Structure 1
Amino acid sequence: MPSAPINEDSHLYLIDASAYIFRAFHALPPLSRASDGLPVGAVAGFCNMLWKLLEELKGDERPTHFACVFDKGSYTFRNDLYPDYKANRDEPPEDLRPQFPLVREASIAFACHALEMEGFEADDLIATYARQAEAKGARVTIVSSDKDLMQLVTDKITMLDTMKSKHLGIEAVYEKFGVGPEKVVDVQALAGDSTDNVPGAPGIGVKTAATLLGEYGTVEELLAHAEEIKQPKRRQTLIDFADQVRISKQLVKLDDNVPVETPLEDLAVCDPDPVTLIEFLEKMEFRTITRRVRETFEAEGVLEEPTQGEVGFDKENYVCVRDFKTLEDWIARAYDAGVIAVDTETDSLDCQLCNLVGISIAVAPNEACYIPLGHIDPDHTGGGDMFDADPPRQINKAEALKALKPLLEDKAILKVGQNIKYDYTVFARNGITLAPIDDTMLLSFALHAGMHGHGMDELSERYFHHTPIPFKEVAGTGQKQITFDRVPLDKATEYAAEDADVTLRLWQMFKPRLHKERVTTVYETLDRPLIPVLADMERHGIKVDRDFLSRLSSDFQQRMAGLEDAAYKAAGQEFNMGSPKQLGEILFGEMDLPGGKKTKSGQWSTDASQLEYLAAQGHELPQIILDWRTLSKLRSTYTEALQDAINPETKRVHTSYSMAGAQTGRLSSTDPNLQNIPIRTEEGRKIREAFIAEEGNVLISADYSQIELRLLAHIADIDALKNAFKDGLDIHAMTASEMFDTPIEGMDPMVRRKAKAINFGIIYGISAFGLANQLGIERGEASDYIKAYFEKFPGIRKYMDETKAFAKENLFVKTAFGRKLHLKEMGSKNGAQRAFAERQAINAPIQGSAADIIKRAMIAMPEALAKKKLDAKMLLQVHDELIFEVPESQAEDTIKLVQSVMQKAPLPALQLSVPLDVEAKAAKTWAEAH
């Protein structure tokens, strides 16, 4: 910032920022940032005040020097004089704490110096700069209404209360204290100040102090003549508390000779940088002031270009490409742009079966086109000249793809998409390998995981205040919904080109932020390179034995019928097994079982935890219902649904992996979900028997053993656990031995089970109630187990406390590889929400690190297999497990390679202090291989 001399023509403005933050916080209604719930009410008040002030002070009143002054910390030289100084002040409210650094950031964004010094209050710095400026003949305005600063008022130094738009001069001081500014310190020394715990003289208020000083002049003179005071009580008080009054004067008198670090001349006014200020206000999501600031800058001609979201969406510019010459022109424009957004339109959401209907491309905001390739109009009912009785005129699909293929595969042209894995697969099925690629969904996920969703519509509304055309608007809903190949080209162009336009703008906004948020490595090494790997896995699919599933489904149905008979007998009547309402009335209304509780709708709760509690008490019917529900879910979700999911072309099941579905970074499997098939039950294992290898091949299951416990041992630095893993011990038996003082040799399996439940439960922040339910024991006993666990492994408690404290201060935690997991509810006033966020804070770094490790293994795997000339195909990822299909003759070599790649996955980014153990086995079915 520039420097300017101080003289009689200068005008210095000093903002008491610390006092203003508190005032704004209590005076204004609560406000939270929509994206993550971060409290920003005081920041908003500060920004509005500052902008209003700067706008009002333009022209002749424009200050020459300007600064915002903050308190550096709570301890100052006054605490050395009087240890109880400000001792009765409460800690700042939880919602205010995270706003202090943001207000400092706001000051810098407004191009105002943010001044603070260790050991001094903001008032002392204000006093020092004010007196320095006054000595050089300059005018000074202190933006504050704090009475403590009134001692500084002179004919050159005034105060400004922005809340009341009121200037405070010498007359205002007389109104407040009954004395002039030169005697304010003496009045405060006598009257004291309960807010700052300044003792003063008990029983003497401001009015009495002013009267006494009017007679004696100063505190020193008053104390020297205290025995002359006529009123006995007042006289005795001044005699008894003379030293206290003297200390009080030292406390209230501002230090106007602080050795300030920034020279007064360096506080010269500087206009804020429009881009920096608008970026800050947009980050805070202050829409109103952002608009006002932008309009002002634009009117002054200092804002050259609005941001992407403010350009506006001019759909009139979108082009429908229906001839080869126009297509060639757009391809040329794409090469000139270097970065393009690409989106595909299809006639189905299943990227393994759908037909490519059209492609949209955006080369710049408002410069987008749609290339129809497969539109039809069998009913001859379409829209005007763009969609008449004949099939719509469009370029031949094969010729168009041939022309686009060099562009879409050119490594010099970056292709950007929203959830581009879908488009990658569609193009792959049409002979095009899309590369290189960026994904706005994953960019948002790397930046904002846990803050909000990452769908295009939500991102567009959140960052551009623009609602894209809903799909239902062009295709309809319900039974009247049409597939995209039947959408008229005018509507299709507007819809598809807009998607590409929005996607490109999101990329322009998010990509530069990776570096600022320090998540570039996460995106570039964990997320982006995984896209083609997952796409290939999804295309491979896995073979499922339809006949086996059919037989298993029939078996489940028969067993369900038997359970229904047993349930009717136990209840003494027939009822609908799938009706929570009927079941609740029987269990708690008629059978009068204990522990019943009603939901908000007034029905009895019959959720799994409630039934498990009753079953643990030995009640027959709840256990029958649990068994019936298990079979019912397995049948509907797997044995029936998997048969429907078999692809008619490949005869295999193709799941889809969501890369931004789980906050911790874990992949989630959908359509169908192959990650939640129970492994610990006989029925779940039977379902896995249906997953088989092709003739001549085998399936290999490679599974990280207890990876989350290993990461806990590493991250929390628990020597006992680390040594156990290094020595290859049974970690649950070791834990049980440590906790229950039991030899590992000949250990009771039940004791080991308890330790196992605690080991895994601790990672997920299990409560005594949860552990009690899991082990079927009393809550008190479960609480003792958890307490004993922390006593044996104090490092885990330390890790949990430190992690929660970090999350509370920063509203995020990080994995070992730097992935940020935002926890906006850490500052919630709702106890249940805050407790849930705390459990997430403990678990997320561990689960997220495990997820990142297996991602690194998956990314490295294809190249490693190709290098060894192994024909294995990676088919599935199920949390800590990878499934491969490989020729039987290559199984042994593949297992060795897979284990090696998985064990080395953290390197070189992370050197673990515990070994990673990978268990791998080959078999004809998934159940046998696991």
Structure 2
Amino acid sequence: MGETFGKGHHLHLIDGSAFIFRAYHALPPLTRRSDGIPIGAVAGFCNMLWKYIQDGKGSDAPTHAAVIFDHSSKTFRNDIYALYKANRPEPPEDLRPQFPLTREATRAFNIACIETEGYEADDIIAALSCQARDAGGRVTIISSDKDLMQLVGNGVEMMDPIKGKAIGPDEVREKFGVGPERVVDVQALAGDSVDNVPGAPGIGIKTAAQLIEEYGDLETLLARAAEIKQPKRRQTLIDNAELIRISKRLVELDCNTPLDFGLETLEVREPDPEGLLEFLTRMEFRTLTTRVAERFGAEAPPAVEVAVAAESKVELPGIDRSRYEIIRDETALTAWLVEIAEKGLVAIDTETSGLDEMRADLIGISLCTGPGRAAYLPLAHVSEGAAGDLFGAPVRLEGQIDPARALEMLKPLLEDAGTLKIGQNIKYDWKILARNGIRMAPIEDTMLMSYALNAGDHNHGMDELADRYLGHKCIPIKELIGSGKSQIGFAEVPIEKAGEYAAEDAEITWRLWHHFRPLLPKNRVATAYQLLERPMVGVLADMEMTGIRIDADHLKRMSSAFAQKMAALEAEIHELAGGPFNVGSPKQLGEILFDRMGLAGGKQGKTGAFSTSADVLEDLAAEGHDLPARVLDWRGISKLKSTYTDALPLHVNPETGRVHTSYSITGAQTGRLASTDPNLQNIPVRTEEGRRIRQAFVAGPGMRIVSLDYSQIELRILAHVAQIPALKQAFRDGIDIHAMTASQMFGVPIEGMDPMIRRRAKAINFGVIYGISGFGLARNLRIPRAEAQAFIDTYFERFPEIRAYMDRTVAEAKQDGYVRTLFGRRIMTPGINQSGPAAGGARRAAINAPIQGAAADIIRRAMIRMPAAIADLPAKMLLQVHDELVFEAQEDALDELIARARDVMENAATPAIQLDVPLVVDAGSGASWAEAH
């Protein structure tokens, strides 16, 4: 026990939680090589502690020190105000398992580690500061947290650990407009959107400081609120007086926080070299381990060696299926669970009765912990064909653990934060297990790793990845289940054969993970993978499992109306053609257009048939020919009928009564999601028929559909990345961007602008993003090609920054073979260095990819943050359609949902990117999707 704390002593209080989050966001993701546990924040935290220890020498060194942590999210403030910190998102999935390791690190450095249940770290810091100050000592709070600035003065100062800058009373006054003793009053008035402290609506820090300076303190201000001359401000203070007082209780730190130790226990102590080196070695922090060993003149323990092919150059043995095990009883499963827990990671794959995750039954699970170390756990295999019971029903085969019991045994491990679960397209397995009561976490996905490294270069399915990167041919599924009429279900595959196939999948996944893992940081895509790809798995899985209701009767009526409209169009088409033919036959249509009618522009393929693609028909329609125009109308209605009004009712899940689409994270090279079974992303939004289809997507009883849609997000990103002053200013001022462009191009005033001129500017604005040519613009606007090219030339004259951006982007793509989005996503550009027609497409794709990719990244960031932001609301996120998010919410929660969701979406780019233009989100609600959008 040290001497009593008093005069001459100097206490350092380190804001541990701030250190952790700063380390997490400042450094790229990092995993421990031996078991894949995320340790990036721990590494940063340890380096900060080591720097702190090394710098803490000399006459001003601390005599006492402690690192203070938040114990949990719920504190006494939630009893005062239930919505306190309700908007705070949950910590990132890969950060949660690092929290206990930072506590262990603190103890390894031999620094006092303090947290108290029910109180925030700030309250503990306040209590210790008050005790030390009252005892006559000095206090330095190592943090830049504004909430701690109320403690500054009378022997208490703060130190910003990043800037190395002291924060005293002058700095506090500079930030808040008042001295430290009145910071709480200003915060109570201004509120805090981050912590959900309500404050007084419409009053910010500057106004609050002026009011407190004028009236002296908060209570005096509230007592004399009726004297305030500005009517709106006066009424705000009168109406919200009680809420302001509650806000003060929320922001005021508690100097009486109960502590079960004395200041004397916080004496600075040198780390124990042996214990610290053991911890750092176990964490695999080689550089820091070497520095610490040199500092203490000690010998570093031997580094942990891991047989990882891509890192250690150790050749892994070839795949030997004969080594795989079948787990047939609880004893064997227990042994595997113990092994997995010791290793801290497992590759996992589920085998099911079908591809629809919402209807498929779980047949078995495969596990792998290393090369050749894989097993299959059969759960629901049955006899095949004639081997059934007296009634011909399949009989469950022996040698399988009861499925409910097996899942009960697996659940703790699969949900354990300290065990990493690796999958290939793990969203599928996640949903299958979630339907069986297990929510896997934390997870890694080799498909998403491949996508982060090679988006746009090749596909990311297991068979292709195994062949391309491991030189291995996987067992084809057809070898097990056959094809055509003789195809059987996976449940009927003999267990031994199923085991070889399934365990191989798990081992391939394990090997792919070890191959891709070191490549992520090497190619500078680790952050994009960790922040934009992997967290999407759980978000999308929850959305997909929630599903959306449809009105089948409405679709049936639409289908009938479409059939009638198609019949009328067919009659008109036949009349224009001079006789009946199969409108759905491209061959017959081509013969009529180019042989019988003799229209120009016919192009014959290798088979001799004329092309009647949409582009060909649109060109003919633009020339004034009615027949191709009517065929385009017929095709549009036919597609809507077959794809939506006829097909959607068939997708209704009989158990949930909802339609459950499936999103592919790797479906587009730019990062846009793809929706399948059914595809809900291609419903036309600007046509009357498309709007009527959206009327069929409806809310449940007492609920409403809510739509939030980014406004012109790709143009805003273009203005930022190309640094176009005129566009940036227009977006900041909220000016009609298309009218502004038209005014810049054609020299016409914005007021009273001809809608046709605005339409042309709009077509160019959006077309430029996709590298539109004069030919393409001519087709879109149905104007002569020379006129369209003149528009584009004028556009680039008015906005030369866009041409510079295009040239720069293409040059980078040619040099590197890829482009990057603002958030570090890498998009490959194959064909960019080729010549001929393919080069033009590759060039346009390279120009568009950083823009569309950044827009996709932003909405992904919003989606990842959204569940935590609306967790306490009676609302669910249902769909994502490019720049739009669709929700279902109770009617009484609409305003709050829209406010929170809009805030998340409009601030989704931060803190990673500070855009030069604001993001704007339009919102609406209604009984159906059509009403909401």
Q: TM-score, normalised by structure 2?
A: 0.66
Does residue 686 of structure 2 align to residue 683 of structure 1? Answer: no
Query: Does residue 483 of structure 1 match 2:489?
Result: yes
How far is the alpha carbon of 1:905 from its aligned partner?
0.3
Q: Distance in 2 between matches of 1:304 and 1:920?
A: 48
Deviation, 1:310, is 5.1
Shift in Å at residue 304 of structure 1? 13
Shift of 1:339: 1.2
What amino acid is aligned across from residue 416 of structure 1 in structure 2? I
SS at match of 1:694: coil
**What is the CA-CA distance between 1:381 and the residue it aligns to?**
4.9
Indicate if the aligned counterparts of 2:653 and 2:659 stay in contact, CA closer than 8 A: yes
Matched, 1:570 2:576: yes
1:588 maps onto 2:591 in alignment: no
Structure 1 residue 807 and structure 2 residue 816: aligned? Answer: no
Match of residue 880, structure 1, among 874, 879, 883: 883
Residue 379 of structure 1 and its aligned partner are, at CA, apart by: 2.4
Q: Distance in 2 between matches of 1:592 and 1:304?
A: 63
Tell me which of 828, 839, 846 is aligned to 1:841: 846
Q: State how far apart, in whole Å, the 2-side matches of 1:634 and 1:537 are.
A: 24
Deviations 1:825-846 (CA, angstroms, capped at 9, x unpaired): 1122x32222211111110000
Q: Which residue of 2 aligns with 1:905?
A: 908
- Establish whether residue 889 from structure 1 lines up as the match of residue 889 from structure 2: no
Of 332, 336, 345 in structure 1, the residue corresponding to residue 351 of structure 2 is 345
Structure 1 Cα separation of the partners of residues 358 and 639 of structure 2: 26
The residue number in structure 2 matching 1:851 is: 856
Whole-Å Cα distance in 2 between the matches of residues 359 and 733 of structure 1? 59
Out of 516, 521, 544, the position equivalent to 2:550 is: 544
Q: Note the alpha carbon deviations across 1:275-298, whole angstroms, 9 max, x for none.
A: xxxxxxxxxxxxxxxxxxxxxxxx
Structure 1 window deviating more from structure 2 (478-487 vs 570-579): it is 478-487
Unaligned runs of 5+ in 1: 1-302, 383-387
Q: Which of 402, 419, 443 is the matching residue for 2:425?
A: 419
- Taking the aligned partners of 1:625 and 1:380, their CA distance within structure 2 comes to 53
1:314 matched to which residue of 2?
Answer: 320
CA radius of gyration, larger in? 1
CA contact (8 A) 2:310 2:514 kept: no
Query: Does 2:447 match 1:444?
Result: no
Q: Tell me, in whole angstroms, the C-alpha distance in 1 between the residues paired with 2:828 and 2:524.
A: 14
Shift in CA distance, 721/306, structure 1 to aligned 2, threshold 3 Å: closer
User: Which residue is equivalent to 2:520?
Assistant: 514
Q: For residues 895 and 734 of structure 2, what CA distance do their matches in structure 1 show?
A: 23
Is 1:471 aligned to residue 490 of structure 2? no
Contact 1:380 1:390 in 2 (8 A): no
Q: Is the 8 A contact 2:416 2:441 kept in 1?
A: yes
State the partner residue of 2:928: 925
Other-structure match for 1:397: 403
Report SS of the residue matched to 2:803: helix
Equivalent position amino acid for 2:684 in 1: P
TM-score, normalized by length of structure 1? 0.66
Task: Summarize deviations over 1:553-600 as a string: whole Å, max 9, x none.
Answer: 010001101111111111111000110000000011001112111122
- Distance (whole Å) between structure 1 residues aligned to residue 648 and residue 895 of structure 2: 30
CA contact (8 A) 1:543 1:651 kept: yes
Say which SS state the counterpart of residue 357 (structure 2) adopts: coil
Following superposition, the deviation at residue 523 of structure 1 comes to 0.7
Query: What amino acid does structure 2 have at the position aligned with 1:314?
Result: D
1:459 is matched with: 465
Which of these residues, 858, 861, 870, is aligned with residue 865 of structure 1? 870
CA distance in 2, matches of 1:306, 1:644: 52
Change in Cα spacing, 1:884 to 1:604, as seen in structure 2 (3 Å) is same
Structure 1 counterpart of 2:402, one-letter code:
N
What are the residue-to-residue correspondences of 1:96-115 with 2, within 5 Å?
A: none
CA deviations over 1:409-453 (Å, ceiling 9, x no partner): 111110000000010000100000101100000011111112211
Superposed CA RMSD: 1.6
**SS of alignment partner, residue 831 of structure 2:** helix
Contact 2:777–2:788, Cα closer than 8 Å, also in 1: yes
Partner SS, residue 653 of structure 1? coil
The answer as to whether partners of 1:439 and 1:528 remain within 8 angstroms in 2 is: yes
- How far off its partner does 1:309 sit? 7.6
The CA deviation at 1:323 is 1.1
Out of 721, 743, 746, the position equivalent to 2:749 is 743
Aligned mates of 2:314, 2:631 — CA distance in 1: 56
Which letter maps to 1:693?
Answer: A
Counterpart of 2:680, as a letter, is: L
Partners of 1:742 and 1:776 in 2: CA distance: 22
Distance 2:395 2:623 in 1: 72
* Matching residue of 1:431: 437
Aligned to 2:661: 655
Deviation, structure 1 residue 378: 4.9
* Structure 2: runs of 5+ lacking an equivalent: 1-308, 389-393
Aligned 1:235-634 pairs, distance under 5 A: 311-381=317-387, 391-634=397-640
Contact between 1:310 and 1:464, CA under 8 Å: does it hold in 2? no
2-structure distance, mates of 1:615, 1:475: 50
Find the aligned partners of 2:569 and 2:898 in 1 and give their Cα distance. Answer: 43
Q: What is the distance in 2 between the residues matched to 1:742 and 1:534?
A: 46
Cα separation, 1, equivalents of 2:396 and 2:418: 40
SS of the counterpart of 1:785? helix
CA distance in 1, matches of 2:650, 2:544: 17
The count of corresponding residues between Structure 1 and Structure 2 is 621
Structure 1 partner of 2:765: 759
Amino acid at match of 1:421: K
Tell me if the contact between 2:879 and 2:886 (Cα under 8 Å) persists in the aligned partners: yes
Instruction: Give 1:305 shift.
Output: 11
8 Å CA contact 2:347, 2:509 repeated in 1 = yes
2:314 & 2:824 partners in 1: Cα distance?
Answer: 28
CA distance in 2, matches of 1:843, 1:393: 56
Counterpart position of 1:185: none
Separation in 1 of the partners of 2:714 and 2:722?
12
Tell me, yes or no, if the aligned pair for 1:309 and 1:505 is still in contact at 8 Å. no
Query: Which position in structure 2 is the counterpart of 1:734?
Result: 740
- Which secondary structure does the structure 1 equivalent of 2:368 belong to? strand
- Determine if contact 2:453/2:826 at 8 Å carries over to the other structure: yes
CA shift for structure 1 position 344: 0.4
Please give the secondary structure, in 2, of the residue aligned with 1:340: strand
Partner SS for 1:813: strand
Aligned residue type for 1:777? I
- Which residue of the partner structure matches residue 917 of structure 2? 914
Asked whether the equivalents of residues 382 and 395 of structure 2 are also in contact (C-alpha less than 8 Å), the reply is: no
- 1:118-197 matches, within 5 Å, as none
8 Å Cα contact 1:377-1:392 kept in structure 2: no
Distance 2:546 2:313 in 1: 42
The letter for the 1-side match of 2:930 is A
> Distance in 1 between the 2:523 and 2:726 partners?
36
Shift of 1:391: 2.5
C-alpha change, 1:794 and 1:768, in structure 2 (3 Å) is same
Q: Secondary structure at the match of 1:652?
A: coil
**2:783 aligned with 1:777:** yes
